[in-house]
Amino acid sequence: MSRIVLIDRREFLKAGALAGAGLALGFYLPVRESAFAAEQAPFYPTNAFVHIGEDNVVTVLVNKSEMGQGVYTSIPMLVAEELECDWSKVRVQPAPVAEIYNNPMSGMQMTGGSTSIRTEWTRMREVGAAARQMLVAAAAKRWSVDPASCLAENGTVRDASGRTLRYGQLTLEAARMPVPTQIVLKDPSRFKILGKPTRRLDTPEKLDGTALFGIDILLPGLLTALVERSPVYGGKAKQLRSEKAKAIPGVKEVVRIASGVAVVATDYWAAKRGRDALEIEWDYGPRAGISSEAMHKKYAGMSEEPGLVARKDGEPERALAGAAKKVSVQYDLPYLAHADMEPLNCVVDLRPGSCEIWVGTQGQTADRDLAAKMSGLRPNQVKLHTTFLGGGFGRRGNPHSDFVDLAMQVALEVKKPVKVIWSREDDMKGGYYRPLWHARMSGGFDESGNLAAWQHRIVGQSIMKGTSNEKRRIKNGVDLSSVEGANELPYEIPNILVDLHSPEEGMPVQWWRSVGHSHTGFEVESFIDELAHAAGKDPYRFRRSLLGKHPRHRGVLDLAAEKAGWGGELAPGRARGIAVFKSYESYVCQVAEVSVAANGRVRVHKVVCAVDCGMTVNPATIEAQMEGGIVFGLSAALYGAITVEEGRVQQENFDDYQVLRMDEMPVVEVHIVKSLEKQGGIGETAVPPIAPAVTNAIFALTGKRIRRLPIDSGMLGKV
């Protein structure tokens, strides 16, 4: 149960959220505190989401991180729709860290899991509606009329006689009105803003360079630090010779920390030159023998044995044993880096009795709590500023807050304001990765040619083990994030088995854009395509025949096939592939049009994408997220691989961890299903279908199946 609260102005201003007179409305939502915060005094027991100033400016405090997904526009749109304010007067400010800003799904303040709109659709509209009702009540009281005779519109309240007052003229009176207990939200048929393409509020400052990302933060006396860490994850420095580093102009200190050796200097390049001059002898530890190629072989062997059951329908073992026709294949996917455009960074100003942090983060609560614990301060003594994020993809929501941890380690040693920057190579070689995966899949047809059995065995590291999500996301030993998308298989097959092995490898892993769906999407939609061809049936129609009880799957499947001209003629040397997948309560189908050159180079010419994400906020954002997800997933399918030898990551930068170039970008058509269904997520849902859509097209063109990513152009060049 949730309720709107009116914020005490003194408490509000004390929190440092906003300045100036006006109406401040908060939203109280009882959720569990993080484990550490629960032991401490609450931080800001109440705070505001919306402030309406005397100048008619509406400021929305957004409790999500803006990392390119458009949340600094979509959340204000929810408020503005019900508030009936002047959209040109809407402003945005990042929310401070406070319990009332928690994500209801996770119980902490964070951005991830494609949850932003799903968690805020109702409560942000309620905040806007409550403010509107209070402003109308204030105007009605001043005019001594029935509030029902007044109309709020475009930042004003008007009565039946035509008298008009701006919101800014009513804010102080509205703040004294009782908060409504009955809030009536608009019927979607009356929406003026929601569902309409809307320009993003944060675009101007990103264009003119005034937007502040974490790496842009400057403070008086700020020092810059780079940390040299072991080339093998978890290794320790045995011997250190730092004389040459200290001789570099600008280098102030060289300090040992738990994670390695930090070089602290007046600027980045001095710190980098100093770090390059360090002479360190490492103890690499037990992980020095790790090899990704050895893992592929090990996982293939493990997949020969049953794992922990994630889903079992019917009698799959018996159905497979008695199948008239059986198809068995294996798929392999590599470790992947997040490769954010803005390298990781964090600014810490640690003083006696206080700590102030500037960071582009997806996990405010976890980062604040870690800083408090490391410094011995209470959470309410740590002030965290959320900056723009130059890409997140899950990396800046690290469950161990590793980049904040590293900055705190340095700050505790130097006792001065310090910015810790990770170079591109630091993050690529020493970050956290999407796990390496292996899947063994079998399907069986009965005597009538019907698909009667499906078995999907998955092998890969757990990303939830050892995190705060472990109890919630690991059930009976099965990490639900490892099997998501596989244990929710929509195809109507009477006998289904999904099981899992979760080996511990010592490699640092975490969620990567679309998490488990990033591998199960490839496995499921590749295998269903293989089964369609084994049955001698059209891949689109074969899928459709198995989705009779899943109208939203069929809806996007039909729409994408229609818009792509499935079955129609193509230019010589091209073919189409199709894939449909549900993730984060959204349904996406993609049709990829592909060619393969004589040297095996794959070119994706066009992608037609149909998406059903329920009721929409900003169609322009949905289209952009589909395009961005396709680029992200296509980069991984064509090029992405982190390989490990002797415990060392081999890739360093974008020269050997390539992403899609501009001249490789396909034409992307996005078609959004009009729907009144509950909202689904949008930030990650375009990623899972793109790889299988492309590899299925490659098979249609060449007759060669791609069962290991990234795509091997050398193999295709032999066609």
The DSSP code sequence of 385-433 is EE-B-S--TTGGG-TT-HHHHHHHHHHHHH-S-EEEE--HHHHHHHS-B
Q: How would residue 401 be classed by pLDDT, with cut points 50, 70 and 90? A: very high
- Per-residue model confidence (pLDDT) at position 104: 87
Is the pLDDT confidence value at 31 over 90? Answer: no
Q: Based on C-alpha coordinates, what's the Rg of the chain?
A: 27
Q: What is the mean pLDDT of residues 346-354?
A: 98
Here the tokens at position 281 are 């002898």
Residues forming beta bridges with residue 225, ordered by sequence position: 264, 420
Q: What is the mean pLDDT of residues 700-717?
A: 94
Which residue ranges form the domains of the chain, and what is each CATH number? 3-198 (3.30.365.10), 214-285+344-421 (3.30.365.10), 292-335+433-716 (3.30.365.10)
- Per-residue model confidence (pLDDT) at position 36: 28
- Per-residue model confidence (pLDDT) at position 548: 96
Residues 6+ apart with CB under 8 A from 431: 337, 338, 344, 395, 422, 508
Q: How would residue 9 be classed by pLDDT, with cut points 50, 70 and 90? A: very low
Residue 299 Cα distances to 334, 406, 646, angstroms: 12, 33, 18
Rounded to 5°, angle at Cα 110 from 108 and 111: 145
Is the pLDDT confidence value at 7 over 60? Answer: no
**Peptide bond before residue 710 is cis, with ω within 30 degrees of 0:** yes
Residues forming beta bridges with residue 382, ordered by sequence position: 355
Is the pLDDT confidence value at 332 over 50? Answer: yes
Residues forming beta bridges with residue 406, ordered by sequence position: none
Of 24-38, 323-337, 456-470, 577-591, the least confident? 24-38
For the segment 286-301, what is each residue's pLDDT rounded down to a tens digit? 999 999 999 999 999 9
pTM: 0.94
- Per-residue model confidence (pLDDT) at position 6: 52
Burial of 353 (0-12, 13-18, 19+ CB in 10 A): exposed
For the segment 487-529, what is each residue's pLDDT rounded down to a tens digit? 999 999 999 999 999 999 999 999 999 999 999 999 999 999 9
Is the pLDDT confidence value at 19 over 80? Answer: no
CA within 13 Å, CB half, 218: 4
Closest by CA position to 485, among listed 522, 535, 453: 522
For the segment 402-423, what is each residue's pLDDT rounded down to a tens digit? 999 999 999 999 999 999 999 9
Q: How would residue 100 be classed by pLDDT, with cut points 50, 70 and 90? A: confident
280 φ, ψ (degrees, to nearest 5) = -125, 135
Residues forming beta bridges with residue 441, ordered by sequence position: 329, 456
The H or E element spanning position 82 is helix 71-83
Residues 6+ apart with CB under 8 A from 570: 576, 593
- Per-residue model confidence (pLDDT) at position 591: 99
Residue 411 Cα distances to 234, 252, 414, 421, 429, angstroms: 21, 14, 5, 13, 23
697 within 8 A of 624, measured Cβ to Cβ: no
One-letter amino acid for residue 179 of the chain = V
665 within 8 A of 604, measured Cβ to Cβ: no
- Per-residue model confidence (pLDDT) at position 442: 98
433 within 8 A of 508, measured Cβ to Cβ: yes
479 within 8 A of 473, measured Cβ to Cβ: yes
Angle between helices 687-702 and 619-638 (to 10 degrees): 50
Maximum Cα–Cα distance across the chain? 85
- Per-residue model confidence (pLDDT) at position 566: 98
Q: What is the mean pLDDT of residues 327-347?
A: 98
For the segment 592-651, what is each residue's pLDDT rounded down to a tens digit? 999 999 999 999 999 999 999 999 999 999 999 999 999 999 999 999 999 999 999 999
Taking the alpha carbons of 38, 44, 45, 50 in that order, is the dihedral positive or negative? Answer: negative
233 within 8 A of 279, measured Cβ to Cβ: no
Closest by CA position to 167, among listed 152, 183, 186: 152
Dihedral Cα 286, 288, 290, 291, nearest 10 deg: -170
Is the pLDDT confidence value at 45 over 50? Answer: no
Q: How would residue 32 be classed by pLDDT, with cut points 50, 70 and 90? A: very low
Number of residues in the chain: 719
Give the other-Cβ count within 10 Å of 209's Cβ.
Answer: 8
- Per-residue model confidence (pLDDT) at position 181: 87
444 within 8 A of 496, measured Cβ to Cβ: no
Residue 369 Cα distances to 372, 400, 652, angstroms: 5, 11, 32
Rounded Cα distance between 307 and 589, Å, is 30
Here the tokens at position 200 are 């993003």
- Per-residue model confidence (pLDDT) at position 715: 85
Rounded Cα distance between 294 and 671, Å, is 43
Here the tokens at position 681 are 């997520």
Rounded Cα distance between 135 and 137, Å, is 5
- Per-residue model confidence (pLDDT) at position 13: 43
Say how many Å lie between the first and final Cα of the chain, rounded. Answer: 62
Is the pLDDT confidence value at 43 over 60? Answer: no
Here the tokens at position 206 are 């990103």
For the segment 643-690, what is each residue's pLDDT rounded down to a tens digit? 999 999 999 999 999 999 999 999 999 999 999 999 999 999 999 999
263 within 8 A of 225, measured Cβ to Cβ: yes
Q: What is the mean pLDDT of residues 696-714?
A: 97
Mean of pLDDT over the chain = 93
- Per-residue model confidence (pLDDT) at position 21: 55
Rounded Cα distance between 115 and 109, Å, is 12
Is the pLDDT confidence value at 42 over 80? Answer: no
Here the tokens at position 268 are 């980045």
Rounded Cα distance between 138 and 57, Å, is 18
- Per-residue model confidence (pLDDT) at position 530: 98
Here the tokens at position 214 are 């974490």
Give the other-Cβ count within 10 Å of 664's Cβ.
Answer: 17
Rounded Cα distance between 210 and 651, Å, is 33
In the chain, pLDDT over 70 holds for what percent of residues? 93
Q: What is the mean pLDDT of residues 226-251?
A: 97
Q: What is the mean pLDDT of residues 305-328?
A: 98
Residues forming beta bridges with residue 350, ordered by sequence position: 355
Is the pLDDT confidence value at 33 over 70? Answer: no
Rounded Cα distance between 307 and 36, Å, is 35
Rounded Cα distance between 194 and 79, Å, is 10
Give the other-Cβ count within 10 Å of 162's Cβ.
Answer: 6
Identify the three-state secondary structure at position 77: helix
For the segment 116-167, what is each residue's pLDDT rounded down to a tens digit? 999 999 999 999 999 999 999 999 999 999 999 999 999 999 999 999 999 9
Here the tokens at position 415 are 């006792």
- Per-residue model confidence (pLDDT) at position 3: 52
Rounded Cα distance between 362 and 7, Å, is 26
- Per-residue model confidence (pLDDT) at position 12: 45
